[in-house]
Structures are given as C-alpha cells and as structure tokens.
Amino acid sequence: MAVLKIAKLGTPTLRQVAQVVPPDKIGQRSFQQFIDDMLETMEAAEGIGLAAPQVFQSEQVTVMECKGEEGFPLTILINPQIVGFSPVSAEGWEGCLSIDGLRGRVKRAVGVRVKFLDRDGKSHELDATGLYAVCIQHELDHLQGRVFLDRMSDMSTLTQLEEFEKYWRTEHAEVI
C-alpha cells in the first residue's frame, strides 16, 4: 500500500474526461493495488472521497467513505454513471482535496441512482441521498474533468478555510 500524491488544480489530468476501465483489467493485481492505494490516500488526506484523476490517473474510478452518524459506507465505483436524479436540489458547502483551502456553496440533487462496477467487476445500482449523493456527484464530476468551482452558481460564497471556520462552519455542518 502507498499514499499517492494528490494532483492540485491546474494539473491537466483534473480537466480531462477519464478513460473507461476495461472490465478485464479490474481483476489484475496492479489495478487492485491501485484501489487500495486510493483508499489509503483518501484516509491519509482525511477526505471523504477521491477520484483517480486526483492521483494523476485518468481512469473512471472513485472511492468514498464517511464515518459517523451523517456518514455513508465505504464505496468503490468503477465506470460509474448516474442513471437518475431526484427532482429536488439543495445547496451545501463543498471543498476538494485538489483545491487547497477553499470552500463554496454548490447546488446538487438531493438523491441519485448510480450504476457502476464494484472491485470484483460486478454490476450494481445504488440509491444515495444526502451527503452520500452529494459526494457521488462531486466525485463523478472529477471523472468528467469538472471540479466544484464549475458548479457554483454564485462565486460570492467562495471562502478561504480559516474564514469558513470563523463565519460559516456552524450554519451548515456538512462539508464534502
């Protein structure tokens, strides 16, 4: 296992559409190792989600986990596709491991249905709501070369981390 270097905003990989993973690659030891490395990197960075382009790999892979009451289980999505959005949206604070020290408010669907392959190459569909749904949308954006800044409708909510903690943290506790 290894902690991988995280690509920061400006890295071309973060702006590319990631490649679909060929199903016969999923069982390969090097690919399984890569997933484990992504999990270790996410944990070391104290993030709740990480997409392969954020570790310089242009592949359709993302991992996420959020421990605690408001959280969601460890989830590994390969070649994910959102196949349904709830009609209702809500705005919440987002940040990103590839964008140091910034938070901004982003409007997202409150629920999504996502189709994906797991790390055994099996196909699944998953319904997610709340923070889980927001995280899935944020991470799948990374696979399309998008970051949360692109999704902000009002850039005036952009705040640096220290000011977020000082002025905004208590109002909305959930942060991706």
| Known catalytic residue at 43 | no
Q: Which is nearer to Ni ion, 26 or 96 (CB)?
A: 96
Catalytic residue among 46, 59, 139, 163: 139
Rounded to the nearest whole angstrom, what is the least distance from the CB of residue 97 to Ni ion in the complex?
6
Q: Which is nearer to Ni ion, 26 or 75 (CB)?
A: 75
Residues contacting Ni ion: total by CB under 5 A: 1
Rounded to the nearest whole angstrom, what is the least distance from the CB of residue 86 to Ni ion in the complex?
21
Rounded distance between C-alpha atoms, residue 136 and residue 141, angstroms: 8
Judge residue 21's burial from the number of C-beta atoms within 10 Å of its C-beta, 0-12 exposed, 13-18 middle, 19 or more buried.
Answer: middle
Based on the shown chain and the rule CB under 5 A, indicate whether residue 42 belongs to the binding site for Ni ion: no
Within residues 117-136, the interface with Ni ion by CB under 5 A covers: none
Rounded to the nearest whole angstrom, what is the least distance from the CB of residue 150 to Ni ion in the complex?
11
Rounded distance between C-alpha atoms, residue 84 and residue 72, angstroms: 19
Residues 6+ apart with CB under 8 A from 65: 39, 42, 48, 71, 72, 73, 74, 75
Nearest residue to Ni ion, scored by beta-carbon proximity? 96
Supply angle C-alpha 4, 8, 11, rounded to 5: 100
- Which residue's entry shows tokens 């809500």? 90
- Which residue's entry shows tokens 């959005």? 85
Rounded to the nearest whole angstrom, what is the least distance from the CB of residue 151 to Ni ion in the complex?
11
Within residues 79-118, the interface with Ni ion by CB under 5 A covers: 96
Q: Which is nearer to Ni ion, 18 or 96 (CB)?
A: 96
Catalytic residue positions? 139
Binding site for Ni ion (CB under 5 A): 96
